């Protein structure tokens, strides 16, 4: 039987990507995968490379963090190939949700062994996301985040930039329609989660799952920075739904309208904006994910 052919793309700009790329090539080849030669200059070229080589590949393997996965998700879906994930980025919350080992050798073994799992994807304004789509404070934190901070501080960079992001953020009003129910609220941060983890290990909800066909929304009331920092332990444990400052709901389809146009963060990247009738809707992926592999729709 011929070896499986895999398209391997690693974001060498990711925190561990530069060192991980040659190591991943060696580990995957030793486990019997035939790797397609597809040199690219940076993660921005990943979608084009996936579309160009999808017909030659049995699976696509991406190395990087959540931003790398988000950048490539549409191309992976179009390819119809399983996705293998090597978590060499700063946060890698998708890998954490799927239980993919952080150690590169173990992650390569999971991909090469062909373990697959079907998962859901979220979609906002036509843009797919794995973990979460959000507006408000998280957008300002993403704007303040630098590649240098990620490389130097890793997960701690999210906490370090939180104060900067808070100073730049403004409260907003939102009208939410979730599976036919309508609510109005005032918020400083509104997130809609598809998976379990986001933001460097924060939980969308205690019992959130990436294959339950549901979206989990939470909205945080405006308040001081000291109060916000005091809430962080509850967010890391997924218990923020018990707090009076946080409003939560769960639905299959969610529409969000805000008092002003707002940028939207998907999986840590600023990718779209709130426009009239902006919608988060969950749909079931139909392709598969390896050890990390993931299915396209």
- Catalytic, out of 78, 177, 245, 269: 269
Q: Is the pLDDT of residue 280 over 80?
A: no
Beta-carbon contacts of 238 under 8 Å, excluding residues fewer than 6 positions away, are 203, 204, 205, 206, 207, 208
Q: Flag whether pLDDT at 78 surpasses 50.
A: yes
The position carrying tokens 């940076």 is 42
pLDDT of res. 146? 57
Q: In whole angstroms, what is the distance from residue 150 CA to residue 159 CA?
A: 11
Residue matched to tokens 């779209």:
272
Token reading at 8 = 């391997």
Q: What pLDDT is stored for residue 287 in this prediction?
A: 41
Is 186 in contact with 172 (CB distance < 8 Å)? yes
- Every domain range in the chain assigned CATH 2.60.200.40: 127-284
Given a contact cutoff of 8 angstroms between Cβ atoms, the answer to whether 204 and 197 are in contact is yes
**pLDDT digits 0-9 by tens, 151-208:** 555 555 566 566 666 666 788 999 999 998 999 999 999 999 999 998 888 899 889 9
CATH 3.40.50.10330 domain span(s) along the chain: 5-121+286-293
Q: Rounded CA gap, 97 and 294, in Å?
A: 12
Work out the pLDDT band at 46, boundaries 50, 70, 90.
very high
% of the chain with per-residue pLDDT over 90: 55
**Taking residues 222-246, what's their average pLDDT?**
82
Kindly tell me if the per-residue pLDDT of 297 is higher than 50: no
Pick the CATH number of 5-121+286-293 from 3.90.226.10, 3.40.50.300, 3.40.50.10330, 1.25.40.10: 3.40.50.10330
For position 164, what pLDDT does the model report? 67
Q: Return the CATH architecture of domain 127-284.
A: Sandwich (2.60)
State phi, psi for 175 to the nearest 5 degrees: -110, 125
Band (150; pLDDT cuts 50, 70, 90): low
Does residue 74 carry a catalytic annotation?
no
Q: What is this structure's pTM?
A: 0.85
């Amino acid at each position: 039987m011929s070896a499986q052919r895999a398209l391997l793309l690693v974001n060498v700009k990711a925190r561990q990507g530069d060192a991980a790329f040659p190591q991943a090539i060696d580990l995957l080849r030793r486990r019997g995968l035939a790797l397609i030669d597809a040199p690219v200059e940076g993660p921005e070229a990943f979608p084009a490379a996936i579309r160009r080589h999808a017909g030659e590949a049995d699976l696509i393997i991406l190395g990087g963090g959540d931003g790398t996965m988000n950048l490539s998700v549409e191309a992976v879906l179009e390819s119809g190939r399983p996705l293998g994930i090597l978590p060499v980025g700063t946060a890698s919350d998708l890998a954490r949700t799927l239980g993919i080992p952080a150690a590169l050798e173990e992650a390569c073994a999971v991909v090469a062994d062909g373990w697959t799992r079907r998962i859901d994807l979220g979609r906002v304004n036509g843009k797919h996301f794995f973990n979460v789509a959000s507006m408000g404070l998280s957008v300002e934190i993403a704007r303040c985040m630098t590649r240098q901070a990620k490389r130097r501080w890793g997960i701690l960079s999210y906490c370090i930039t939180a104060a900067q992001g808070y100073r730049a953020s403004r409260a907003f009003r939102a009208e939410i329609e979730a599976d036919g129910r309508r609510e109005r609220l005032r918020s400083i941060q509104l997130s809609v989660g598809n998976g379990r983890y986001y933001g460097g290990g924060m939980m969308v909800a205690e019992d959130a799952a990436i294959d339950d066909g549901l979206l989990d929304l939470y909205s945080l009331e405006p308040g001081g920075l000291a109060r916000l920092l005091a809430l962080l332990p509850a967010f890391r444990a997924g218990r923020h739904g018990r707090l009076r400052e946080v409003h939560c709901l769960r639905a299959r389809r969610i529409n969000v309208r805000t008092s002003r146009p707002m940028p939207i963060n998907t999986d840590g990247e600023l990718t779209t904006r709130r426009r009239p009738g902006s919608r988060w809707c969950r749909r079931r992926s139909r392709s598969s994910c390896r050890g990390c592999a993931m299915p396209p729709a």
